[in-house]
Structures are given as C-alpha cells and as structure tokens.
C-alpha cells in the first residue's frame, strides 16, 4: 500500500510542477509594446507578433565588447501600426516624430525620417535578443538599438511605448 501512496504522491508533485508550464503555454501572450498617438488607432504588439515580422540584426560594441542585437526594424513596427513610412512619408508627414518611452520613464525622440530607411541608413532596430538570447530584464524585453549614433543615449532599454506625433503648422 505504501508503494501505491508513494507513486500517487510523486504523480501529484509532478502535476504541481508541470501545471504552471501548461497554463503558461495556453495563456494568451501579453502585449509588450504600445504604439499610439496620431494614428488611425492605438496598436499593441506581443513578442510573438514582433517575432513574426521580418527579422534584422545590428552589430555594435558596448564597453569594448562586440554584441549582435536581433529584432525588427522600428519602421516595420510603426508602419504596421499605421504611421506614415516609405512613400507616405513626405510633405507635412515629415514634421512628425516618435517619442519612445521606457518602463523607468526614460524618453527619447526620433524624427520619422530618421527611422525610415528611404531617408537614413542604418536604421533603428527594435531588439528583443542579444547574441542569440532574450534580453536581460534590465534591458528588455525590448530595446532600441540606434546604429550610427556616436553615443548610445538613444538606444533606450526597457521600451514599452511609442507615441507618434505629427506637428501641425498654425
């Protein structure tokens, strides 16, 4: 009888250990990025949605150590949210900008033309991985990597929101 109890106890403990994993796989993924502002509507992205977009990478050096960031070009995510990019980015739309906001309140600004590869190369990467691994919590789950900037101050970490603003002349 003790053998049956022992097997039942182990089965119960195994179920307790596996249940959270099964629940996590079935639960819908939470949005990790919100894009709002002067757009047709607010858009949220899950990590899964961003990873389904065309992937890109940027190599950079941090404190003398080479790093390879992977993710999606920021202009791709903004275009998916309805921001003017490519052929739509002309005339009055060129007066628009994006305010990037981090979880800790840090903010940086980009003109829309700075993000669009029609105007500027290299672009701004919306990164979710570094050296083939997910970003550390103090960096992610998302960060911007601004290739071509001489200082890393606009490579905002812990990115959670993008606000698209179109300036209007009075």
Q: Has residue 106 been placed in a domain?
A: yes
Q: Is residue 20 one of the residues assigned to a domain? A: no
Neighbours of 78 (CB within 10 A): 25
For residue 58, being part of any structural domain is answered with yes
| DSSP letter (8 states) at residue 5 | H
| Residue 93 within any structural domain of the chain | yes
| Domain span holding position 144 | 29-166
> Does residue 1 lie in a domain region?
no
Over residues 3-34, the pLDDT tens digits come to: 556 665 665 555 555 555 554 455 668 999 99
Residue 136 lies in a domain: yes
Assign residue 161 the CATH number of its domain. Answer: 3.90.420.10
Within-domain flag for 97: yes
pLDDT in tens, 100-155: 999 999 999 999 999 999 898 878 999 999 999 999 999 999 999 998 888 888 89
Residue 91 in domain: yes
Provide the whole-model pTM.
0.80
Domains contained in the chain, number: 1
């Amino acid at each position: 009888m003790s053998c049956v109890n022992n097997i039942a106890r182990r089965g119960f403990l195994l179920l307790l250990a596996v249940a959270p994993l099964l629940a996590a796989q079935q639960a819908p993924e939470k949005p990790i990025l919100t894009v709002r502002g002067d757009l047709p509507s607010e858009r949220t992205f899950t990590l899964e949605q961003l990873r389904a977009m065309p992937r890109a990478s940027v190599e950079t050096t941090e404190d003398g150590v080479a790093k390879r960031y992977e993710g999606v070009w920021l202009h791709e995510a903004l275009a998916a949210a309805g921001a003017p990019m490519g052929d739509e980015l002309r005339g009055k739309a060129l007066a628009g900008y994006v305010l990037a906001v981090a979880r800790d309140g840090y903010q940086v600004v980009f003109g829309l033309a700075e993000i669009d590869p029609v105007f500027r190369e290299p672009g701004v990467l919306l990164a979710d991985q570094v050296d083939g691994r997910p970003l550390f919590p103090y960096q992610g789950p998302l960060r911007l990597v601004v290739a071509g900037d001489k200082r890393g101050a606009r490579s905002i970490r812990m990115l959670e929101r993008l606000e698209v603003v179109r300036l209007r002349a009075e």
